[in-house]
Chain A
Amino acid sequence: MEPQTDYGVELEAVIMIATDPPYEETAAESGKATHIEVAIRLSEVLITAECDRLARSGQNDLVDQLVLDQLILRSRLDDVAGARSVLASYLAIDDLSGAHASRVTTALLRLLREAARPAFAIDVLLPVFDDKGPELANWLGSGFVDVLCEVGNAMRACGGYTSAESVYRKAEAVAHRYPRGTTSADLMTLRRNRAIVLLQSGRPAVARRVLAAALAIDEFDDHQLALVRSSLASCQMLLGQFEVALVGINEALACEELTAQERDSLLVSRAQCMAALAHPATAESIDAAQAELDPDSFLQAMLAAIGATYASHHDLPDAAARIEAALTSLQSAERRIETNVEQAGQIFGLRVNLLLQSGRYHEVVTETDGLAPVDWRLITIRALAMSELGVDTWRRDANHAALALIKARADDNIAVTDVGLMRDAPPLQNALVRAATRDLQSGEINLFNLLLAGELASSVGGSLSAFRSIDQDVVEVFGKLGMLEVVPDRTTILYAMADDADVHLVALRRDSVAYRGKWSLQEIDRLRRRVLSKASRLDPQTGDLFRDIPSWKPFAETLGEAIRPCLRDEDEMCVFGGSALANLPLHTALIDGRPLCFSNPIAFIPSLLVLYAQRTRPPPNRSGAAVFSTPSALDQQTTVERFRAGATEVLEALRQLYGGEYIRHHDGVSANRDALRAALTSVELLVLCCHGKVNRREGVHGWEIAVGDALPRLDETTKADTARASLFLWDEIDGPTPPIVLSGACGSGSASYAIGGERVSLDRALIAGGTQLFAGPLWDVVIDAGHHLLAQLLHRSQFATSWADAWRQVLSYDCDDVPAATWQAFMLNGDWRYSYE
């Protein structure tokens, strides 16, 4: 018979000391944290002995409680390793089967629910799962995933978006690793919740990818499918993809199992999409939806505001009545939900915006009096109203709003691959450009306002990400340095920016600034669409921008005229900046009938801040080159041969630069995702000889790569395309990246613009990740001819003064047999002055 030793009393005392709430709260201040540590050490000894005794006497339920107490204590010390060891010992004390299983489950679930830091608990549990996975998975089933989901929901409700996202991601990993007992509904819920939290934290592009992957992989019932489509549509709307969003919303609305709330929310989303697309049935659809919604609901007020804004923008006969009704509805909703700060703020913003649109400027100024300076959206509305009233101080307000926006974005932990940062910025940009151009007309140039507006429209998100890496405050650059210091010697930067009517061009030199004229924004938009659409349909061998796109030549001549006076020497550097003229082949501007790119070195920069960041960040410590060459499995034999010939020429050029041993060639099936990721993080120079995929309407920019042991086969274009394994998309590039990236893939040099004007492209993600220079074509090019140009660029880069100068030489001397539409397509993006290490 074993001696009876009861440790229970001592143990209880120790745990009480350690878990006493007042004690815990003051521990950090009073230095009593050591008491908790002592308590844990004591409890460890006591628990081990007590567990042993209880287990032998069959009282396992008491063991569970003791272990749980100790794990919670350890979580307070952030002692992950210790907690893991406790758990491992605990799981070893009994045969993991039968009745003990349910107790283990209960204990683990309690740990997740009760621990002060659920993420800590998950970190402890997941490695244990790796050891005991198969056995534990048998017992835990979907219950474990459910609890993780609950934990994530709780974190989300408290505004802990990052933690919640992390919990959902981990839960998904658990569900994947131990699929037994995990239903498709669990997975759908996890992915959808993760997407919602990503949306809430301003990351719609990532959310979209999560949901697109879910749609491509998971199996859903009708209701689940409708919910996923609804969430996906929300992402697409934030990214400005209203057409695809509308398709998804209509499909979701066809589901008969939607709850009333889900349906109402979809009706509002549908109204937003239709209004954004100026769909002819917008007004009718909004009226029909309004009849279905609860008249006192928050959504009803939003719907009324959407209808009124649409009617006002399109001068519908009932616009005035709709505005009045919407203002009443918003005001009443605002009163009802004043305790819900987020919703109340949203409603207030909608109401003030509606007042502005309906010309009630005095009311806007009164309502927005005394706003906090960080509330940049409302300050912008106020500035616009004051501008309309002729109050001089509106410029100051607009500047404050711009600085508040820039600062707010700098403070947020937003990755460069997230878009949607700028979705509320257009009115602000518009206000700033208008302020600056009014000054211009009176002969006084407000450079600060003009460039601030240009920078706002030129991927502030990307700029800030670059800036964070060099620990530099953007506002400081604007305020103290002055933008002209960013301009290198013997260089002209032609900076384009737009307000709601015109595109303005300003020439910046280190010692001067000159306004170079304006074009109608509508005309530029039409030209851009025509050039990009038609250029991709040109005959590969005989197509020529100047001959086949009649509207291009007159613009190229006008642009040449605007540029000519700025260029003091024939071979001076010419840089095009800003987003207002992006996606146009500005390097073919005609001066005396000759494209500018033949006489002057040319590069494109997204913004001055990006250039500044590129020049001031530490040089990369990299060497060697990598070439990715892969045709598609669907290509004709002649196409395959063109890829092979192009890659051979590029490799030969690289051998002369680096020597054979420093070049990695990923050919065919070896040009896959893992290899590309590895190359992005390691080599100095990366060349891509593969197919490109671009859908500017949906913000899709990527390279086609091999998958597993097969060549890429992108033979379907569906809404889930972005999740397809054979595409390597821009938002998968998350730095660090090679200093030089050359791409022969069709369209890989083009960009699209998300709602708000934020720039989305391969070069944006690469430059933010560390790339100094990216070269790629704006449209479709002949495979081997494009690679020939890149090979020649590599040759000439050894002897030229800069990459831009090397490119000028290529165009001047190596282009005789290259089809016109191919050389016309290529652009150099970023800092043109990089030299090899």
Chain B
Amino acid sequence: MSDFEVQEVDSLIARIMDLSDQAAQEAVNLLDVGLGDQSDDELYTEVAKAVDRTESEVREELAMQVPADVAALARLTLVMSASEGRAEAVRRAIDATGQKAVVLEIAVVGLLALAALHIVVTGGVKEANTNVTATVSSDGTITTTTSTTKKVSTVSESLAGFARALLFGSK
């Protein structure tokens, strides 16, 4: 990845971190990273398997999340997608926000963020931007670092557990 491309990704990540909660949620809803036409139910099954929990547990946890936490998770997914060779898809998703007359369901947004994160970290990465790192600590603190910025946000402990399992394995 050229320096110019790295800078482009860094600037996209800065844009992601500046998104409002609602825009971040909508962007992850529109993010096309290869989920195909799977239904939400099928995604629940897939995510549950990936985080080594039952489907009911994932549903229950996501149903109880608050919007700010899900927005933080959405930003993490967008950042990881951008840094793992899917910057164009992220840019398109962000540009497409604000056009629909919908109030998103938080649990579904959380599900899509986790499912997209799973795809991004497990499959088809073309070229990673090694200048970006993201960590999720067990108390829910997310730290995103690029060559120019460092951002810290938090999610609930249960979401942090899911995200850590997807990023670093469930064990």
Contact surface of A with B, Cβ cutoff 8 Å: 243-244, 246-247, 277, 279-280, 526, 529-534, 536-537, 539-541, 548-552, 632, 634-636, 638-639, 642-643, 689-695, 704, 714-719, 744-747, 780-783, 786
Contact A534 B63 (CB under 8 A): no
Contact A539 B32 (CB under 8 A): yes
Query: Of all chain B residues, which has the CB nearest A745?
Result: B101
In angstroms, Cα B103 to Cα A541, docked, is 18
Query: Of all chain B residues, which has the CB nearest A548?
Result: B37
B102 located at the interface, meaning its Cβ lies under 8 Å from any Cβ of chain A in the complex: yes
Known: A533-B40, A636-B97. A243 touches B35 (CB 8 A): no
Contact B29 A536 (CB under 8 A): yes
In angstroms, Cα B37 to Cα A382, docked, is 43
Q: Select the residue from B39, B60, B97 with max chain A CB neighbours within 10 A.
A: B39
Question: Cβ of B98: which chain A residues have Cβ within 8 Å of it?
Answer: 635-636, 638-639, 642
**Set B32, B37, B97: member contacting A530, Cβ < 8 A:** B37
Contact B63 A744 (CB under 8 A): no
Query: Of all chain B residues, which has the CB nearest A700?
Result: B105
Contact A639 B99 (CB under 8 A): yes
Q: Which residues 25-70 in B have Cβ within 8 Å of A in the complex?
A: 29-30, 32, 35-43, 54, 56, 59-60, 63-64, 66-67
Give 5 new A-B contacts, CB below 8 A, not counting A537-B112, A715-B22, A782-B99.
A247-B60, A716-B67, A716-B106, A746-B101, A782-B100
* Chain A: minimal CB distance from B10 (Å): 23
Contact B56 A243 (CB under 8 A): yes
* Chain B: minimal CB distance from A667 (Å): 15
B157 located at the interface, meaning its Cβ lies under 8 Å from any Cβ of chain A in the complex: no
Give 10 closest A-B pairs by Cβ, nearest first: A529-B39, A746-B102, A717-B106, A639-B98, A540-B99, A533-B39, A636-B98, A780-B102, A780-B100, A534-B37
Question: Cβ of B149: which chain A residues have Cβ within 8 Å of it?
Answer: none
Contact A529 B40 (CB under 8 A): yes
Question: Cβ of A635: which chain B residues have Cβ within 8 Å of it?
Answer: 22, 98
Contact A244 B38 (CB under 8 A): no
In angstroms, Cα B96 to Cα A526, docked, is 28
Q: Select the residue from B54, B63, B97, B99 with max chain A CB neighbours within 10 A.
A: B99
Contact B20 A634 (CB under 8 A): yes
Known: A551-B37, A715-B21, A716-B66. A783 touches B101 (CB 8 A): yes
**Set B20, B29, B97, B101: member contacting A537, Cβ < 8 A:** B29
In angstroms, Cα B67 to Cα A280, docked, is 29
Contact pattern, B 99-131, Cβ under 8 Å of A = 1, otherwise 0: 111110111000010000000000000000000
In angstroms, Cα B36 to Cα A552, docked, is 13
**Set A532, A541, A716, A786: member contacting B101, Cβ < 8 A:** A786
In angstroms, Cα B162 to Cα A667, docked, is 42
In angstroms, Cα B112 to Cα A537, docked, is 10
Contact A530 B101 (CB under 8 A): no
Query: Of all chain B residues, which has the CB nearest A631?
Result: B101
Contact pattern, B 79-109, Cβ under 8 Å of A = 1, otherwise 0: 0000000000000100011111111011100
In angstroms, Cα B155 to Cα A422, docked, is 41
Known: A243-B59, A247-B63, A280-B54. A530 touches B99 (CB 8 A): no
Contact B30 A642 (CB under 8 A): no
- CB<8 Å pairs between A and B, sample of 22: A247-B64, A279-B54, A529-B41, A530-B37, A530-B42, A532-B39, A533-B40, A534-B36, A537-B32, A540-B96, A552-B37, A636-B23, A691-B101, A693-B103, A695-B105, A714-B103, A715-B22, A744-B101, A745-B101, A747-B102, A782-B100, A786-B101
Contact A717 B101 (CB under 8 A): no
Known: A277-B56, A529-B39, A533-B40. A243 touches B96 (CB 8 A): no
Contact A244 B63 (CB under 8 A): yes
Question: Cβ of B66: which chain A residues have Cβ within 8 Å of it?
Answer: 716, 718
Contact A781 B100 (CB under 8 A): yes
In angstroms, Cα B60 to Cα A247, docked, is 7
Question: Cβ of A529: which chain B residues have Cβ within 8 Å of it?
Answer: 39-42
* Chain A: minimal CB distance from B153 (Å): 17
In angstroms, Cα B59 to Cα A638, docked, is 33
In angstroms, Cα B92 to Cα A202, docked, is 49
* Chain A: minimal CB distance from B122 (Å): 20
* Chain B: minimal CB distance from A539 (Å): 6
Contact B60 A246 (CB under 8 A): yes
* Chain A: minimal CB distance from B135 (Å): 27
Contact B60 A715 (CB under 8 A): no
Question: Cβ of A695: which chain B residues have Cβ within 8 Å of it?
Answer: 105
Q: Select the residue from B29, B37, B43 with max chain A CB neighbours within 10 A.
A: B37
Contact A780 B37 (CB under 8 A): no
In angstroms, Cα B96 to Cα A642, docked, is 13
Question: Cβ of A534: which chain B residues have Cβ within 8 Å of it?
Answer: 36-39
* Chain A: minimal CB distance from B96 (Å): 5
Contact B101 A781 (CB under 8 A): yes
Question: Cβ of A639: which chain B residues have Cβ within 8 Å of it?
Answer: 98-99
* Chain A: minimal CB distance from B18 (Å): 12
**Set B38, B56, B59: member contacting A533, Cβ < 8 A:** B38
Question: Cβ of A540: which chain B residues have Cβ within 8 Å of it?
Answer: 30, 96, 99-100
Contact pattern, B 1-27, Cβ under 8 Å of A = 1, otherwise 0: 000000000000000000011110000
Question: Cβ of B102: which chain A residues have Cβ within 8 Å of it?
Answer: 536, 691-693, 746-747, 780
Contact B103 A632 (CB under 8 A): yes
Question: Cβ of A632: which chain B residues have Cβ within 8 Å of it?
Answer: 103
Question: Cβ of A277: which chain B residues have Cβ within 8 Å of it?
Answer: 56
Query: Of all chain B residues, which has the CB nearest A535?
Result: B37
Contact A692 B101 (CB under 8 A): yes
* Chain B: minimal CB distance from A527 (Å): 9
Q: Select the residue from B21, B30, B100 with max chain A CB neighbours within 10 A.
A: B100
Question: Cβ of A541: which chain B residues have Cβ within 8 Å of it?
Answer: 96, 99
Question: Cβ of B36: which chain A residues have Cβ within 8 Å of it?
Answer: 534, 550
Contact B56 A279 (CB under 8 A): yes
In angstroms, Cα B41 to Cα A540, docked, is 23
In angstroms, Cα B66 to Cα A694, docked, is 18
Question: Cβ of A531: which chain B residues have Cβ within 8 Å of it?
Answer: 37
In angstroms, Cα B100 to Cα A786, docked, is 9
Contact A539 B112 (CB under 8 A): no
Question: Cβ of B64: which chain A residues have Cβ within 8 Å of it?
Answer: 247
Question: Cβ of B60: which chain A residues have Cβ within 8 Å of it?
Answer: 243, 246-247
* Chain B: minimal CB distance from A730 (Å): 15
In angstroms, Cα B92 to Cα A536, docked, is 16
In angstroms, Cα B27 to Cα A508, docked, is 45
Question: Cβ of A279: which chain B residues have Cβ within 8 Å of it?
Answer: 54, 56
* Chain B: minimal CB distance from A122 (Å): 40
* Chain B: minimal CB distance from A566 (Å): 29
In angstroms, Cα B63 to Cα A642, docked, is 31
In angstroms, Cα B20 to Cα A549, docked, is 30
Query: Of all chain B residues, which has the CB nearest A642?
Result: B99
**Set B38, B54, B103, B105: member contacting A691, Cβ < 8 A:** B103
Query: Of all chain A residues, which has the CB nearest B97?
Result: A636
* Chain A: minimal CB distance from B159 (Å): 14
* Chain A: minimal CB distance from B22 (Å): 5
* Chain A: minimal CB distance from B80 (Å): 18
Contact A704 B38 (CB under 8 A): no
In angstroms, Cα B96 to Cα A638, docked, is 11
Question: Cβ of B22: which chain A residues have Cβ within 8 Å of it?
Answer: 634-635, 715
In angstroms, Cα B37 to Cα A548, docked, is 7
In angstroms, Cα B105 to Cα A738, docked, is 29
In angstroms, Cα B32 to Cα A811, docked, is 28
* Chain B: minimal CB distance from A532 (Å): 8
Contact A526 B100 (CB under 8 A): no
Known: A634-B22, A781-B100. A243 touches B63 (CB 8 A): yes
**Set B42, B43, B92: member contacting A539, Cβ < 8 A:** B92
Contact A783 B39 (CB under 8 A): no
Contact B99 A537 (CB under 8 A): no
**Set A550, A638, A691, A744: member contacting B37, Cβ < 8 A:** A550
Question: Cβ of A716: which chain B residues have Cβ within 8 Å of it?
Answer: 66-67, 106
In angstroms, Cα B38 to Cα A551, docked, is 10
In angstroms, Cα B58 to Cα A427, docked, is 32
